[in-house]
Structure formats: C-alpha cells, structure tokens
Amino acid sequence: MRRLSAKAKFYITAVIICLLLLLFLLPSAPVKQDKATWLWDAAIIRSESEEILDFSGREGVTTIFLQIQESVPTEDYRRFVRSAHEANIAVHALGGAPDWAYADQREEGGKLMSWLEEYNMESKPEERFQGVQLDVEPYVLRRWEREQEQVVREWSRNMESWVQEARRQGLEISAAVPFWLDSIPGPEGSGNFSRWMLEQSDAVAVMSYRDDGEKMYELSREELEQADELGKSVWIGMELTDTKEGDHLTFHGKSAKVMKNEAHRAAALGTEHPSFAGLAVHHYQAWHRKTTAMTNENDNR
C-alpha cells in the first residue's frame, strides 16, 4: 500500500483544521425566546392592562392564556385583547377544572366554547381570541386512582367534542398536560395519552416543572419528539409559584439570575426541535412579583 507523502499529510491536516475552525466559527441557530404565560385572575385586566402588556413585551411573551370568568365584563376582555393585538401578543381563552374530564361535565367545556363563539362574533377582528387552552387535571381527584382507564375514556371523548367545536369556530386549541401523561395509555389502545392529545390539538403546554433547565427539557422531550413528527407545537412549562410539592419543582425562592440561566438552557435545548413553541411561565402574577422584587433589590443596593 502506497504511503502518503509528508506534503500530502500536511495538506490533509490543514483541510481538517480549516473545516473544524469553520464549524466553530459558524453562528449557531438562535435560541427561540418566545414565551407564554397563564393569567388566572382576569379581573386585573381592567386596572392593570398596560402594566401586564408592558411586562409581557419586555419578557418576550407572545401568547397569554387568559382565564374566562363570568364576573369579568365582556368589554374588559375586548379592551385587553385589542391592546394585546396592538402589542403583537396573541390571547387565548383559558378554562378548565379537574372534573371537566368526566362525561357529565362535558357541557362545562361546551359553555366555554359557546361563550367564545358569541364573544368573537360580536367583536372586531382585533378584539377576538385567537385560540383556547383547556386545563383539565382529573388526576388530582380521588376517582383517578380508582378508575383511571374510565376517566381517560371520558376525558378523551370530552376533548374530541371540544376540539371539534374549536375547529368549527376556527380557533387554535391547546391543552395543559403533566409531563408524565406519556406514561398513561391512550383511549382504546391508541398509544400513550400525550401523543393522543397532540394528535387532537394544535399544541400542548407540558407542565415540566423543575428548577433545572435541562430537567425541564428532558421531561418535555418525548412530547417534543412526538410533536416534531406530527407537525404540532409544544410549550415547555416552568413554575414560579410557591408549592408544597417540593422546592425542586419551582423557581420560587431562587434568584432571578438562576431562573434566567435555567430558562435559557431549557430554551436552547428546546430550540433543537421544530415543534418548540417556547417557554410557558406559570403564572403571570408570580412572575411579575418575582421580577419586580428583584428589580427593587438591585435599585436599593
């Protein structure tokens, strides 16, 4: 076998080094910075609308999941959604309760969908909700332990009904889901339940609550991979509230620097997936309090 000359070896080595340098110098894909947040106390949109939207703009929020409450006047929703539209922030109606998963509670979701249809029909385009998110968590109720398979069956049938109605109205529809839903069998042998949810909806927000960005990503990874395949979207959830379930689940009590670093890490890993929609922060008021407190601390130093 003919041996390479020293000159040939030199050129080959030089080419390899140049290729490695080129790979090193090429800019990496930008990290997707979009965020969503849940706003549960809709009553505050009357007096704090400007502050909510200013904060959301600064923090990169592109979607707000806004709870629908009977006590909040329709005109308050219209003003808020119109202002959000002007700020390029989408607003999705938010509704749900643990027992909405049950067959005899299907109409509760139906009432939300009916309210949305009437609201959007009577509103100008810039005042309309662009989508709806359903937060249904039956696993916090005792029946889940006794009749999980039956609850999944009823929950899935309710979802099918609500999704059909959302499609008819031309609304995007998403669901907030726990990270472990991919370990639960779907209805009628349809694979795992998180995949079934993705197949039905446009997106899911995975409640992958940890105080570590890499762990947040890992808990959402299966949903991201499934959504890549299905052409759907996934929000990686992060928790900021004080929870009795464990300090490792939340950024409550952690510094703003730690929170931002871990959020960036989760987003950087998520960006590798076409399905990654961004981070979903739970929830607006906890986020606003934490950020404001940290800002005041820095100002007083």
Beta bridge partners of 92: 65, 131
- The full set of domains in the chain, from first to last, is 9-299 (3.20.20.80)
* pLDDT, tens only, 181-205: 999 999 988 899 999 999 999 999 9
* Arithmetic mean of pLDDT, 5-30: 58
Quick check: 60 pLDDT over 80?
yes
What's the pLDDT at 5? 66
Q: Give me the percent of the chain exceeding a pLDDT of 90.
A: 85
* Arithmetic mean of pLDDT, 84-103: 98
Q: If we measure between CA atoms, which residue out of 118, 105, 16 comes closest to residue 77?
A: 118
C-beta of residue 59 within 8 angstroms of C-beta of residue 35:
yes
C-beta of residue 79 within 8 angstroms of C-beta of residue 52:
no
Burial letters 37-72, b for 16+ CB under 10 A, else e:
bbbbebebbeebbeebbebbeebebbbbbbbbeeeb
Q: 112 is written with which tokens? A: 């939300």
Instruction: Tell me how crowded residue 14 is: count the other CB atoms within 10 A of its CB.
Output: 10
Quick check: 12 pLDDT over 90?
no
Quick check: 23 pLDDT over 50?
no
Quick check: 40 pLDDT over 60?
yes
Predicted confidence band at 26 (pLDDT cuts at 50, 70, 90)? very low
DSSP 181: G
Nearest-10 crossing angle of helices 284-299, 45-58: 70
**Chain center to CA of 80:** 21
Quick check: 123 pLDDT over 90?
yes
- Cα(102)–Cα(221) distance, rounded to whole angstroms? 29
Quick check: 25 pLDDT over 80?
no
Q: Which of 63-72, 181-190, 206-215 has the lowest mean pLDDT?
A: 181-190
Quick check: 11 pLDDT over 70?
no
What's the pLDDT at 293? 80
What's the pLDDT at 270? 98
Q: Which of 22-26, 123-127, 160-164 has the lowest mean pLDDT?
A: 22-26
| pTM listed for this prediction | 0.90
What's the pLDDT at 188? 85
* Arithmetic mean of pLDDT, 221-246: 97
What's the pLDDT at 202? 98
Quick check: 21 pLDDT over 60?
no
What's the pLDDT at 299? 57
